[in-house]
Amino acid sequence: MRDGFYACFTDLLYDMELHPALDSQVIEILIRLDYFREFGGNGKL
């Protein structure tokens, strides 16, 4: 997923929904770790 192109953060979230191992807790942790910084800051996400 990291190498894929996503026009916006919601496109990435939709793709992540297809993988059961990536639940909301994991996504929140990744946001806090600033993993998605290309889509905006933690406050925005």
Q: Is 80 exceeded by the pLDDT of residue 18?
A: yes
Q: Which residue has 């026009």 as its token pair? A: 7
Helix H or strand E segment including 2: none
Query: Which pLDDT score, from 0 to 100, does residue 14 have?
Result: 87
Query: Which pLDDT score, from 0 to 100, does residue 9 have?
Result: 85
Query: Rounded CA gap, 45 and 37, in Å?
Result: 9
CA distances from 2 to 12, 19, 30, 38 (A): 9, 14, 12, 11
Instruction: Please state the rounded mean pLDDT for residues 1-29.
Output: 82
Query: Rounded CA gap, 9 and 26, in Å?
Result: 15
